[in-house]
Amino acid sequence: MTFEVGSARDSAPGSPTHGDRWILYGLLLLLGAAASLTPIRNFDYWWHLASGSWILSHHAVPQSDPFSFTATGTRWIDHEWLFQVLAYLGHAWLGPAALVLLKSAGVLLLGLLLARHLEHEGHGPAGTACLLAPVLLGAAFRFDVRPEMATLFLAPLLLHLVLRARASGSIRRLLAVPPLVALWANLHVGVVVAPAILFLGLAGTLLAERVPWLRERDGSTPQRNPRFTRRLAIVTAASVLAAGLNPYGLRIYAVPFEVSGLLRTLPWPNHEWARPVFEIFPLFWIAVGMSVVFLVIFSRHIDPMTAPAFVLTAVLAAAHLRNIGLFFVLLPYALGRPLRYLADRPPRRLLALGTVGGRIRPGFILA
């Protein structure tokens, strides 16, 4: 595999890397389309449309259940109200096929965002293709016209903004995080992971600053940066409050626990909240196992901001299969740096033989 660091010279027209990027974008387009151009397959779609129609007709967000004849008036925290309005308008004006195309376009944008991060970590096009292929395949079954798509796109975007703010020293990207969380809080309850990701990243950053063993000798891990750490602490606190900028306020934090408790009382299982088994989700468990091995072996080369997010999403996905998509879309952020270090270490002669003078790209073949 070629994991070359991008440069202006390498990306110039006519250079091998420039051609590889076009191959990568073509692979992303094909794989993203295969992973996302699927019919709407969740039964909640019709309920979301009915809710969006109700909100628009009543000019209000429901506070109690207006639909069920057995539980009318039951308290309802409709944490997906904005998605429901947008879905209803899109269905009415454009039709469901257009919504599928919009979903697929969102998946392609997500792929480009992940590819951009891996490029920042120093991966070349072939290495990026190898990392993104299992990500798109593993998360494909969660790509649907449903509110969860907001979480699958906004969680990586949140990490991306924080990492770029750390690298550039600019505060503008950090200032965009709380508004992003506020928007997210009206689209999907997955917003509750945002403050957790930020808090764990802040804790990891503080730990890496104070424990020399966790800092890389080559200096690629940021050293003490009190200004960034203070800013991240403020943004984390602001994001906790920003999640409450929805019609129900901070009660949104209780929703996942209430739903989980309710499902435990049902006489039948809810498959989305079941634990994933290896026979049905082998790629997930293989990805978890290999990721743990890489992070343990290359513990001095992990990112203190992204590694805790990996642990959090791995635990959530191992508990409930509905979180597997979130695990996969954040995987490149956790593994980008350790795998970059690994790619720099193979014997150069073996690498030269494997690439046949640069004319064959094993990374692309594998992807």
pLDDT, tens digit, for every residue of 80-136? Answer: 999 999 999 999 999 999 999 999 999 999 999 999 999 888 887 777 888 888 999
Q: How confident is the model over 345-364, as a mean pLDDT? A: 54
Phi, psi at 22, each rounded to 5°: -65, -40
Q: Which residues of 250-273 are buried (b: 16+ CB within 10 A; e: fewer)?
A: eebbebbeeeeeeeeeeeeeeeeb
Q: How many residues in the chain?
A: 367
Q: What was the pLDDT predicted at 34?
A: 87
Q: What was the pLDDT predicted at 218?
A: 46
What proportion of the chain, given as a percentage, has pLDDT over 70? 84
pLDDT at 271 over 80: yes
CA 202 to chain centre: 18
Could you report the per-residue pLDDT of 183-219, keeping only the tens digit for each?
A: 999 999 999 999 999 999 999 988 887 766 555 544 4
Average pLDDT, the chain: 85
Could you report the per-residue pLDDT of 298-327, keeping only the tens digit for each?
A: 888 889 999 999 999 999 999 999 999 999
Q: What was the pLDDT predicted at 270?
A: 80
Q: How confident is the model over 248-264, as a mean pLDDT? A: 88
Task: Say which amino acid occupies 95.
Answer: G
Q: How confident is the model over 335-351, as a mean pLDDT? A: 69
Q: To 10 degrees, the CA torsion angle through 169, 150, 255, 66? A: 140
Phi, psi at 64, each rounded to 5°: -145, 165
Could you report the per-residue pLDDT of 140-183, keeping only the tens digit for each?
A: 999 999 999 999 999 999 999 999 999 988 889 999 999 999 99
pLDDT grade for 238, boundaries at 50, 70 and 90: very high
pLDDT grade for 226, boundaries at 50, 70 and 90: confident
Q: What angle do CA 133, 134, 139 make, to 5 degrees?
A: 110
Q: What was the pLDDT predicted at 217?
A: 45
Q: What was the pLDDT predicted at 93?
A: 96
Q: How confident is the model over 15-44, as a mean pLDDT? A: 80
For residues 174 and 205, is the Cβ–Cβ distance under 8 A?
no
CA atoms within 13 A on the CB side of 253: 13
Q: Whose CA is closest to 331, among 37, 112, 32, 118? A: 118
pLDDT grade for 280, boundaries at 50, 70 and 90: very high
pTM of the model: 0.88
What gap in Å lies between CA 48 and CA 50, rounded to an integer? Answer: 5
Task: Say which amino acid occupies 359.
Answer: R
Q: What was the pLDDT predicted at 107?
A: 94
Q: How confident is the model over 355-366, as a mean pLDDT? A: 57
Question: What SS3 state is found at 65?
Answer: coil
